Amino acid sequence: MKVVLKVFRFNPENEDKPKYEKYELDLREDAVLLDALNEIKWKIDGTLSYRRSCRHGICGSCAVKLNGKNVLACKTPLKKAIEDFGEELVVEPLSNKKEKIIKDLVIDKKDFWDKNHKVKPFLIAEIDEHPKTENLIKPEEVEALEEADYCIACGCCYYACESLRENKEFLGPQALAKTYRFSADKRDNAKKERLSLVDSLGIGVWDCVKCQACIEVCPKGVDPFTKITHLHNQIFEEGIAKKNVATKHAEGFVHSIKKHGILDEGMLVLYSEGVNVIRHLPEAFSMFAKGKIKFPWNMPKSDQLEEIQKLVEISQTHELKD
């Protein structure tokens, strides 16, 4: 199989800017992207740098960007890649920010690891060093972790996260999914401490932009976004949630649905913001002038509202406490 790869090359030690090098390769039909990189390094240009180790999708070291998608090189069949992206395959590092590049496809993942450490990605429990019986955990208790335990910390989701692009403080999908891995574990004693950390505005769950990029890229099916949703739920269940614009916003939907069936957009902003609502006034005036605002007297309601109200009443499982 003929494959043409355009590979990002940059050595910050002696080059000013990155360039793309083109390689024409002849590979087996079942070759994966890592085979192609190895072929280049071993037979064409030994100076190409990239991380690799297990070649079985376990170590997480060979993550790179292929035509805009973060992938594990060892788990990406080239035939499928050509089907998805056409003949021109472009390989880049997970982040192409100049300051992050160590060399070619190898980046400095310090920020990623710092955040992983910040959520204490280990079991916090009193452990008897000389137990008399096994410390058993039931199958259904393990099921509660869902796929969160499959994370191999490859960074695919972290470097695809849209929130992180403009909010460097955000913990990111990997560290948050890891938090859930332990906050959902019956044996862990630090659930409240973990939830308090990820409830913090600016770094925690409330700053996820819900772009779904983490689900799309995760090569292990961890589904970090859904774990972030579960963390939100745990924050309310455990009474950790503080009344603020973010928690009031999430809770405000229930109020609005009960009252109108559909969302009262204006009231939701007012309910979430409290007195801070004045910061939205300039926008509100321009929207009003263009017929984009409904007032209480012309706010539409869903037909058969009483059905919706009853359904909310019988299926609501959480309340916002202070």
Partner 1 sequence: MKYALYTGCTARESTPELLKSTLTVAKELGIEIEVLNEASCCGAGHLQDFDEFLSLTINARNISLAEKRGLKLVTLCNTCQLMLENTKRKLDSNEDLKEKVNEKLSEIGYKYTGSSKIQHFLYAILEDVGLEEISKHVKRPLNLKIAPFYGCHIIRPSKTHDGDNLNENPYKPNAIENLIKILMGESIEYDSKTRCCGFHVDLQNTPLSEKLTADILIDADNNGAEAIVTPCPLCHLNLDVKQRSAAKEANKNINIPVLHLPQLLGLAFGYSKEELGLNHHIVDVNL
Note the residues at the interface with partner 1 (CB under 8 A): 67-69, 84-85, 162-163, 165-167, 201-202, 205-213, 215-216, 225, 229-230, 232-233, 236, 244-246, 249-251, 253-254, 256-257, 261-263, 265, 269, 272-273, 283, 286-287, 290-294, 300, 302-304, 307-308, 310-312, 314-318, 320
Least gap, CB of 299 to partner 1 (angstroms): 8
Nearer to partner 1, 156 or 257 (CB): 257
Neighbours of 60 (CB within 10 A): 19
Query: Residue 94: which of 204, 172, 180, 178 has the closest Cα?
Result: 172
Nearer to partner 1, 72 or 208 (CB): 208
Neighbours of 11 (CB within 10 A): 13
Least gap, CB of 147 to partner 1 (angstroms): 12
Instruction: Look up residue 97 and give its amino acid.
Output: K
Say which DSSP state 20 is in: E
Spatial contact of 148 and 222, defined as CB atoms under 8 Å apart: yes
Nearer to partner 1, 102 or 277 (CB): 277
Least gap, CB of 250 to partner 1 (angstroms): 4
Q: Which H or E element spans position 3?
A: strand 2-9
Least gap, CB of 185 to partner 1 (angstroms): 19
Instruction: Look up residue 62 and give its amino acid.
Output: C
Least gap, CB of 123 to partner 1 (angstroms): 25
Helix, strand, coil percent content, the chain, rounded in steps of 5: 45, 10, 45
Nearer to partner 1, 149 or 273 (CB): 273
Least gap, CB of 308 to partner 1 (angstroms): 5
Q: In whole angstroms, how far apart are CA 210 and each of 97, 242, 280? A: 23, 21, 23
Nearer to partner 1, 54 or 311 (CB): 311
Nearer to partner 1, 194 or 230 (CB): 230
Say which DSSP state 77 is in: B
Question: To 10 degrees, what angle do helices 245-260 and 265-273 make?
Answer: 140
